Chains A and B, each alone.
Chain A
Amino acid sequence: MARAKFLCDAERCIECNACATACKNEHEVPWGIVRRRVVTINDGEPDEKSIATSCMHCTDAPCVSVCPVSTLYQTDIGVVLHDKDTCIGCGYCFYACPFGAPQFPKATMFGSRGKMDKCTYCAGGPEEDHSEAEYRKYGANRIAEGKLPICAEVCSTRALLAGDGEMIGEIYRERVIHRGYGSGAWGWNTAYYPEEDGA
């Protein structure tokens, strides 16, 4: 069974932010929320790297575990989705997330955060597929059409890979062998193998 993952090849990411822009546009993501973002580490140093990140759709996802109202749920391809109708904006997922993915529109006063928003792996939400309600709350549902997340499919250097975890892992490994170097799968240990100590 396919286990959907994200993998960003830090040697290839050129910080063009096309993934972030395409995501914003595809889903009409509200102001103040960035579902997909590019982080540059060691900026200006010889080992500078840029990595695109978002919700990683973790194994044994901490956000799903801590949600007090069962808003978050996981699918059998690993994608973590949420139901904005039951979300109470408590922020638990926000504190539990290892990648800073859940965000809140902050549209209301006095700390009420509004409904949580995060990357859906372009898989919409619990509403009927391709319905207007689904688009308004979660954005486009590309998975239902057999497509992959727009951020990865739009990536001009193919740094950002999405889809079947084994296959993107294989694509990445072949790449590393071919060019002779690679800094590894950033975030995979935290996201997908919480019980491993890391290599």
Chain B
Amino acid sequence: MSDSAGGVRGRDFTGYRIAGAIAALIFLFLLAWQVVLLFAADSTVRPEVAIRAAGDSPGMHSGMIAAETLAARTRLLDERFRTGPSPEAEVPALAEGRANLDSESMTDGSAYTRAWSVPTEDEAAMMHQPDRIEGISSLPYSNAALFERPFGRDWRIGMSDIITHMGALAILGMAFLLSAVLALRGRVPIRQGKSGRRVHRFGFVERGTHWMTALSFLGLSFTGIAIAYGETLFVPLGERAMGTLGWWSTWGHVLFAPTFFLGLIVMAVMWTAKNLPSKLDIQWIAKGGGFFSDSGDHPPARKFNAGQKMVFWSAILGGLIMVATGVTLMFPYYWLDLAGMSWAMLIHAAIAVLLIAVFLAHIYIGSVGMHGAIDAMWSGKVDRNWAEEHHSLWLREVDPKKERTP
């Protein structure tokens, strides 16, 4: 039982452990950066462009002229007995509409936003309680009858403050945990070493479906991340570059969806029966799948252990939610109104970041995390000793005659 007994140990994979340690440091740094952003970043919208009178002296003065020009023009909207529609009356010079106002970028606009958000007493007295208001409209547009939906402001908080930040924490946190596990624990070894004799585990259709779905998922993830996190990740490259990248991403996101959906359906048909929960799963979970010890004393499992079942159900249930909400968003107003589509978008984004975090773990354990695991989905044939350690009951089912190799 002790780790010092003979056989391959996880900590012997020195190269992997060094790489894991480096990755863990990088992810820890990114995670810390994300936590700092979470608390320090001010998401208040500030003006970035100033309207100025062109050709005049730069700075505040030309800004005042622009403001006075617009104010003079505003005065014309007062009651007619004051402003008059009369052609004889003299038009104030600034209000003639012959000004030349220009715009220039400005740096610190936060004072404007602060000043704007405080109403005067008179203004406060004439305001309405914010409320959803919808009436009728004679204009030919599907959303024309809507006057006001304060929920938009809540949607913004849900999207850019909660889901985006929590998603980044989930994804980076998972990446950090996995690389830390690789650094400290090493790979999950095949305790007895490879036997050289192999057992057939996944057929061609199973592997083909898996990789089609996997590639679609990766495509959807990368394009989705480009859309959701583009402002942080890519805008430093230039806004035009981000615009182009984002444009391709919105198109690509839709293109990857059909193969993803097809893969989900085929996987559900092939594997649901073998992924129904059983009593063995409780035992497996109680022992943590034997993941953290090199003892080789893995809990018994049939073709799929409890961990794999959880991955399967995340893919099927999570994937179906993604497809349902995604298709809804592809056809605006087809069966949901704006309120419904807003919720669909929030659910789509929240489930997406969770699925990315879950499947990071799946990708890790199927590749560097466990020695020999990749063979199952690559060649379809796994080593007998690997099968004996991880899926002992399955091995007996498919290969009843042969005794366990010593």
A residues whose Cβ falls under 8 Å from a Cβ of B: 1-4, 15, 17, 20, 32-34, 37-43, 51, 53, 59-62, 64-71, 73-79, 81, 83, 85-92, 94-100, 103-104, 106, 110-113, 123, 129, 142-148, 152-153, 158, 161-164, 166-176, 182, 184-190, 192-196, 198-199
Q: Which residues on the A side are within 8 Å of B120 (C-beta)?
A: 166, 169
In angstroms, Cα B147 to Cα A33, docked, is 16
Q: What residue of chain A has the Cβ atom nearest to residue B338's Cβ?
A: A100
In angstroms, Cα B103 to Cα A123, docked, is 10
Contact A146 B70 (CB under 8 A): yes
Report if B280 contacts A (CB, 8 A): no
Q: Which residues on the B side are within 8 Å of A110 (C-beta)?
A: 254, 330
Instruction: Return B225 CB to nearest CB of chain A, in Å.
Output: 10
Contact A143 B70 (CB under 8 A): yes
Tell me whether A175 and B67 are in contact in the complex, defined as CB-CB below 8 angstroms, given that A65-B156, A106-B332 are known contacts.
no
0 or 1 for each of B124-157: is its CB under 8 Å from A? (1 = yes): 1111111001111111110111111111110110
Contact B127 A188 (CB under 8 A): yes
In angstroms, Cα B338 to Cα A184, docked, is 26
Contact A100 B242 (CB under 8 A): no
Partner among A87, A176, A187 whose Cβ is within 8 Å of the Cβ of B243: A87
Tell me whether A186 and B148 are in contact in the complex, defined as CB-CB below 8 angstroms, given that A78-B116, A144-B102 are known contacts.
yes
Q: Which residues on the B side are within 8 Å of A77 (C-beta)?
A: 51, 66-67, 70
Contact A169 B122 (CB under 8 A): yes
**Contacts of B217-236 to chain A: CB distance below 8 A:** 227-231, 235
Q: What residue of chain B has the Cβ atom nearest to residue A38's Cβ?
A: B137
Tell me whether A41 and B51 are in contact in the complex, defined as CB-CB below 8 angstroms, given that A95-B341, A98-B153, A171-B77 are known contacts.
no
Partner among A4, A74, A100, A199 whose Cβ is within 8 Å of the Cβ of B49: A74
Contact A60 B127 (CB under 8 A): no
**Contacts of B358-404 to chain A: CB distance below 8 A:** none
Contact A169 B126 (CB under 8 A): yes
Q: What residue of chain B has the Cβ atom nearest to residue A72's Cβ?
A: B45
Contact B137 A146 (CB under 8 A): no
In angstroms, Cα B246 to Cα A92, docked, is 13
Instruction: Return A53 CB to nearest CB of chain B, in Å.
Output: 5
Interface residue stretch chosen among B12-20, B105-113, B259-267? B105-113
Report if B96 contacts A (CB, 8 A): yes
Tell me whether A62 and B153 are in contact in the complex, defined as CB-CB below 8 angstroms, given that A38-B137, A187-B147, A198-B130 are known contacts.
yes
Contact B135 A148 (CB under 8 A): no
Report if B240 contacts A (CB, 8 A): yes
Instruction: Return A108 CB to nearest CB of chain B, in Å.
Output: 9
In angstroms, Cα B115 to Cα A195, docked, is 12
Tell me whether A68 and B109 are in contact in the complex, defined as CB-CB below 8 angstroms, given that A61-B45, A171-B77, A186-B148 are known contacts.
no
Partner among B43, B50, B80, B123 whose Cβ is within 8 Å of the Cβ of A169: B123
